[in-house]
A and B are shown apart, each in its own frame.
Chain A
Amino acid sequence: MEKILHKERLDDWIAALSDREILSPALEDGVWAFRPAGAAVRLDYPNTTQPPKGLAFPQREVFFSFEQVKGEAPLLRQTLPQVAQRVVFGVRPCDGRAVPRMDKVFSDHVEDPYYWARRKQVAYVGLACQQPPSSNCFCQSVGGSPVSSDGLDVLLTDLGERYFAAAVSETGKALMMAGESLFEAATDADRAQLQGAHAAALARPQRAVRDPDALPSKLKASFDSPLWEELARACIGCGICTFLCPTCHCFDINDEVTGAAPLKGKRVRTWDTCQFPDFTMHTSGHNPRENSGARLRQRVSHKFQYFHENFAMHQCTGCGRCVTGCPVGIDIVSVVNKVAEHAG
């Protein structure tokens, strides 16, 4: 389904979707974040600091609550998330491409009920990039594009006064049908304008990963390279690069105990990251990923080798957040380029 939506009708479309929760980028305290949109959706943003990942995989998820009176069997209460239908506006194509990747992670071998309870309720309305929103964008190097509709339900392209709206999924069609009278049919002239806008977007320069197809084998060959330690020399082991990444998904599970007699609490899942020094710490005190070099190798190889071996696609979508956010300038693009160059 391809339609035209005049910009001044965007808010009417939002109103037509009022039975769902609407989110869109908002600038709060200097940070662009997806927030409840209220009546007005803002689409004049560069990109959000964090991707919309948390809507399906929040930083904190309660699995169940427990209670045990001494000597009796414990009582467990599963707490599957109950969330309303949500539509998130202003998803960049790189973040759209993260969605099928996260879906794979949370359904391979076992379907994660918590992830899917949230995921099934979210619809993603994307916005094609006309300009790379950051100087660290490299989506085209990793098989994406600034106009990709992969993983999205609707893709909007800005045509000046109007949006070209393309439904990509059944969910997307339903969203557009809900505001049917607001949309106009797209003509051949509109399609020609769309193609022009897309071609211009594709032609804008981005940073480049050289020969991304060769990366899985080159990374494999570089496992023992001393280069890792050198490249990670400045890394402070914060998790910024992973906590801002649309496809990082590592987690920790803990019991949060709130009372001793009876023993009470909740079992919760929280984000964790391979960049924290204690991430792989064994209970013996031995740590197989002992230094920041080994940890950088894990992050980069997971994105460009292990994920590729498992699912035949790179896990990195080129959003550039880890590059922009790293406080000491560790830059995944130059890291992979240097490692690949070294591997010959």
Chain B
Amino acid sequence: MINLQDIRDTARDLLASGEVRAVIGFRSGSRGMAAEPAFITRPEEADELVWDPTCFHNLALYLVEDRKFQAHARANPAAPIAVVAKGCDARAIVVLLQEHYFKRDQVYIIGVSCEGSGVLDERKLAGHLNGFPATSAAFDGDDFVFVTAQGEQRLPAREVMAERCLECREPYPREHNVVLGENRSGRELALPFAALTRFEAQSPAERWEFWQRHFERCIRCYACRSVCPMCFCDECVVDSITYPVTAETTAEEKANRVRWIERSATRSENITYHMTRAMHLAGRCVDCGECERVCPVNIPLRLLNNKMEREARERFGYEPGASIGGPSLVASFRDDDPGQFIR
């Protein structure tokens, strides 16, 4: 089990020695039991940090935000920024490093191993507690233990753990500056791609019906995009006016810009948005599951990204986030690539 004090001590020492300029971690939130992202810059704030199965967020996102902020401010800070990273978060950082989003010495990775506990799925939990809120969650090695107004409740991990954690192959952050917790394999409660395999057993007509039904509901809040550390483009096809406007851009150019996807949240536009995003994540998505977690209308986005992930693995033996030095999927070529057209 990870000792919370170790996380706090690490953060405090790093800040006190000036080795890092800030630490991105988790602290308790004011809404229910879920932890929230915390940004601390002073050693005495280290005691605010927490670590429990409600630390869902992939904090690699805030490294991207920090980079954008620094670029905008034309700052070039000497010290790196530290981040608390689970296995999947560390894989996301590796993809960002592979893509040269920032340099290795600009980030200090405080790795924390999930050691087989993973994080909770709030929707699964809500189903089990019949809508009554829990005030805290812990993992005791077998079960999750919740405190509710009705007393303590134990639930087996399989029933309330996030799907991606059930299928997780690497809960240990391989890339790190310092790491807390043991290097244990996943719980193997489910085989990799278990949910996708179940889904794909259906006929194409059933699957099409499934996606149509789900995407009909999308409200295009773009939370799935905003939360994804891999969705870092300055210009996104779905935005109205983020394309570069310079003094030379004419009114005509602004007005006649090609719009690939309309703003209307209709089924066809929604599907186009999600297909576009899935393609942009091929070989990059690390299955942190954040897009699916944040969706306010419960669209099973993970299935879509898992499909791309499995294609990359089966066709090219490619695993996103495996090594910083390795090539990225879409920017590399091998003689034994199966596609004939490329030769």
Contact = CB atoms under 8 A, between A and B. Distances in A.
Interface of A: 29-31, 46, 49-50, 59-60, 135-136, 233-234, 236-240, 243-244, 252, 254, 256, 268, 270-271, 273, 276-278, 281, 283-285, 323-329, 331, 333-334
Interface string B74-92: 0000000000000000000
B31 A239 contact: no
Given A29-B214, A49-B296, A252-B240, A238 B31 contact: no
A243 B263 contact: no
B103 interface: no
Interface string B289-323: 01001101110000000000000000000000000
A50 B338 CA distance: 47
Given A236-B61, A254-B262, A331 B30 contact: yes
A272 B221 CA distance: 9
A249 to B, nearest CB: 15
A136 B32 CA distance: 8
Contacts of B35: 329
A238 B226 contact: yes
B184 interface: no
B254 interface: yes
B203 to A, nearest CB: 20
Contact of A283 (B219, B222, B245): B245
Contacts of B39: 233-234
26 contacts: A29-B214, A29-B297, A30-B123, A49-B296, A60-B266, A234-B37, A236-B61, A238-B226, A238-B294, A240-B294, A243-B221, A244-B296, A268-B262, A268-B263, A268-B264, A270-B265, A273-B221, A277-B242, A278-B239, A278-B242, A281-B241, A283-B241, A283-B251, A327-B57, A328-B57, A333-B30
A29 B296 contact: no
Contacts of A283: 241, 245, 251, 254
A334 B293 contact: no
Contact of B296 (A234, A240, A271, A285): A240
Contact of A234 (B31, B36, B265): B36
B177 interface: no
B223 interface: yes
A295 to B, nearest CB: 12
Interface string B113-154: 000000000010000000101000000000000000000000
B31 A270 contact: no
B264 A270 contact: yes
Contacts of A329: 29-31, 34-37
A324 B31 contact: yes
A174 to B, nearest CB: 33
Contact of A239 (B34, B62, B222): B222
B217 interface: yes
Given A238-B226, A324-B31, A31 B297 contact: yes
Interface in B245-264: 245-246, 251, 254, 262-264
